[in-house]
Chains A and B, each alone.
Chain A
Amino acid sequence: DIQMTQSPSSVSASVGDRVTITCRASQGISSWLAWYQQKPGKAPKLLIYAASSLQSGVPSRFSGSGSGTDFTLTISSLQPEDFATYYCQQANSFPPGFGGGTKVEIK
């Protein structure tokens, strides 16, 4: 199975900050990488698919990049509604595994 490792596990940031989250796959997955946002008590929400494609309705301050084994999710200017946990997920092969999550907290 492909292992997904996210860093950091948590980050404290202020409104307006630029936040970058990293995800590494244990083997190459081309661009088969998705990012999700999850708020407490809610279902995950798809933000980015195919490593860099923005899901419909997602604000443009979210962007994704990378290919192969190393990927990043960037929030260009953090908004109050962005405080949440973010997960990466490989969509290259079975089983589709998730990273451990990165909690974005208010500084």
Chain B
Amino acid sequence: EVQLVESGGGLVQPGGSLRLSCAASGFTFSSYWMSWVRQAPGKGLEWVANIKQDGSEKYYVDSVKGRFTISRDNAKNSLYLQMNSLRAEDTAVYYCARDPSQSSGPRLEFDYWGQGTLVTVSS
């Protein structure tokens, strides 16, 4: 059974940093593109970033470029999101999601999702 379990969320002051983790199990983690998708309270879904199987390619939504860094450790079956210079508008539930692509290019769809971890940016 595919499982994605996020952790690391919490309350942080504006300008602060947080590192999210996603532990994957039930599939060959190193074979798949992975993404982070967020959802502000009461709002819709927003894709944040994705990373290729070997970590050699990473893409970000414009609003987080230069502040967030996606990474992965295939030996630990884990995905990460380092978030720096956090702003109030980054407040959201952050989901780890699997892209079904096992090839060199992503499909940009998300077939499995974690339960999410809440990040609140507030003073």
**Which A residues contact B (CB, under 8 angstroms)?**
32, 34, 36, 38, 42-46, 49, 55, 87, 89-101
A43-B95, A43-B114, A43-B115 known; A97 vs B47 contact (CB < 8 Å): yes
Shortest Cβ gap from B103 to chain A (Å): 14
CB distance from B107 to the nearest CB of A (A): 6
- Beyond A55-B111, A91-B109: 11 further Cβ-contacts under 8 Å? A42-B115, A43-B114, A46-B109, A49-B111, A89-B45, A94-B108, A95-B47, A95-B59, A95-B62, A96-B47, A99-B44
Are B107 and A91 touching (Cβ within 8 A)? yes
* Cβ A43 vs Cβ B108 within 8 A: no
State the main secondary structure of chain B at its contact with A. loop
Complex Cα distance, B61 from A96, in Å, reads 9
Decide if the interface of chain A is mainly helix, strand, loop or mixed: loop
Q: How many residues of B contact A (CB 8 A)?
A: 18
Q: How many A-B residue pairs have CB under 8 A?
A: 54
Q: Do the beta carbons of B47 and A98 come within 8 Å of each other?
A: yes
Complex interface residues of chain B between 45 and 97 (CB less than 8 A to chain A): 45-47, 59, 61-62, 95
User: In the assembled complex, how far is the CB of residue B41 from the closest CB belonging to chain A, in whole angstroms?
Assistant: 12
Q: How many angstroms from the CA of A45 to the CA of B57 in the assembled complex?
A: 26
Cα A98 to Cα B35 with chains together (Å)? 14
Q: Which of B95, B109, B114, B116 contacts A89 (CB 8 A)?
A: B109
Which are the 10 A-B pairs with shortest beta-carbon distances? A43-B113, A91-B108, A96-B108, A98-B45, A34-B109, A95-B61, A96-B47, A91-B109, A46-B111, A49-B109
Query: Which residues of chain A have C-beta atoms less than 8 A from B47's C-beta?
Result: 95-98
How far does the alpha carbon of A91 sit from the alpha carbon of B109 in the complex, in Å?
A: 6
A101: chain B residues within 8 A (beta carbon): 44-45
Complex Cα–Cα for A44 and B108 (A): 15
Of listed B44, B61, B115, residue having the most chain A CB within 10 A: B44
Between-chain CB contacts (< 8 Å), 10 pairs: A32-B108, A36-B110, A44-B45, A87-B45, A89-B110, A90-B108, A91-B109, A94-B108, A97-B47, A100-B44
